Amino acid sequence: MNAQLPRWVDLGLIPLLNLIVAFLVAGGVVMLIGENPVEAVEHILYGAFGFGEGIAFTLFYATNFIFTGLCVAVAFHASLFNIGGEGQAYIGGLGVALVCLAFDTFLPWWIIAPLAICAGAAFGAGWAFVPAYLQAKRGSHIVITTIMFNFLAASLMVYLLVNVLKVDGTMAPESRTFEEAGRLPKIGWFMELFGQNIGGAPLNLSFFLAILACVGVWLLIWRTKLGYEIRTFGANPAAAVYAGINPVRITVITMMISGGLAGMMALNPVMGDQNRLFLELAGGAGFVGIAVALMGRAHPVGVALAALLFGVLYQGGAELSFEMPAITRDMIVVIQGLVVLFAGALEFMFRPVVARVFARTATAKGAA
């Protein structure tokens, strides 16, 4: 049935249909609480795209979701379901912060940044290594182990922030603020190219790194031998083994790449925005990444677009609850949940109908 559909329908029309239905249902919910859904959509779109700072915030949030979306997407190609992006990003934040804390007094930012990227990726990859090894060698299911590793990451980070990295005499469980050299530059100049003012938004160089990561993942999956092995293993592990692909090696390497991408996400909040290590720095982005990867069909372009959509929902949603106090934070979560439900989980709902319509038009043409 898949083969019957042109690519633009599969990748464009169906996600669009799902999205429209999601927004219609969300609009119904907004109407139920007595607010005007059209006005709500206007607030969301204006908040996300209406002014320079809003756009910059949208892209800032999207940066997180691109990394975590890619993280899940890479693992998908090997038929691995990495639910541990949240924990891997959290631990990645530790790597980034340790580099910044160690070097920010005597090195310039452009030396610290690459080190921090490597450390974030290495810590994230390291955190993914154990579940990967257990899956490959012992058959412990990766979904279970990665979920548990999220909690382990949370426990470890609370311990470190409360007992080791906390500044003496303060209440907040966070590290000291990095010196100037431990901060990634904001990219106001980039926004100015488009005549927009970044305002107070924390959009920083991590955004470009996210774009590079998209390109890198595309190259890896479709243009390298390793990517071919990953896809083969994902499509049919038995056949892959028969073809001489080592399943242990592929599982471990794929998961480490996946974890590394999640770990790099931490660069954005830690070095780009807050300039300190703090609790809950991933803020749920690891889980949003699952929806982003599903929606984006595990393709970097799709992931980037889906991440942008979620950035819009985050930023526009925040603006919405400013402008319409009746729509609380929980309502925004409902709207986001509906988008995930329709665009991710129910993506096959319209497919048979659309496929039938296309099949009929194709037959009609053939008959004529």
Catalog residues that contact another protein under the rule CB under 8 A. 57, 60-61, 151, 154-155, 157-159, 162, 166, 168-174, 177, 200, 202, 269, 273-274, 276, 278-281, 283-284, 314, 318-319, 321-322, 325, 328-329
Question: What is the nearest approach in angstroms of another protein to the Cβ of residue 236?
Answer: 37
* H helix runs in 170-223, sequence order: 188-193, 206-223
* H helix runs in 50-84, sequence order: 52-77
Q: Smaller CB distance to another protein: residue 263 or 311?
A: 311
Q: Smaller CB distance to another protein: residue 195 or 200?
A: 200
Q: Smaller CB distance to another protein: residue 232 or 274?
A: 274
Question: What is the nearest approach in angstroms of another protein to the Cβ of residue 69?
Answer: 17
- 306, 296 contact by CB (below 8 A): yes
Q: Smaller CB distance to another protein: residue 154 or 241?
A: 154
Question: What is the nearest approach in angstroms of another protein to the Cβ of residue 119?
Answer: 21
Rounded to an integer, what distance in angstroms lies between the CA atom of residue 15 and that of residue 367?
A: 30
298: left (phi over 0), alpha (psi -120 to 50) or beta: left
Helix axis angle, 52-77 to 37-49, nearest 10°:
90
- 86, 164 contact by CB (below 8 A): no
Question: What is the nearest approach in angstroms of another protein to the Cβ of residue 12?
Answer: 31
Question: What is the nearest approach in angstroms of another protein to the Cβ of residue 39?
Answer: 18
User: Token pair of 256, please?
Assistant: 């480490």
Question: What is the nearest approach in angstroms of another protein to the Cβ of residue 7?
Answer: 36
Q: Give me the torsion for CA of 336, 338, 341, 344, rounded to 10°.
A: -50
Q: Smaller CB distance to another protein: residue 135 or 175?
A: 175
Which burial class, exposed, middle or buried, applies to 241 when counting CB atoms under 10 A from its CB (0-12, 13-18, 19+)? middle
Q: Smaller CB distance to another protein: residue 35 or 347?
A: 35
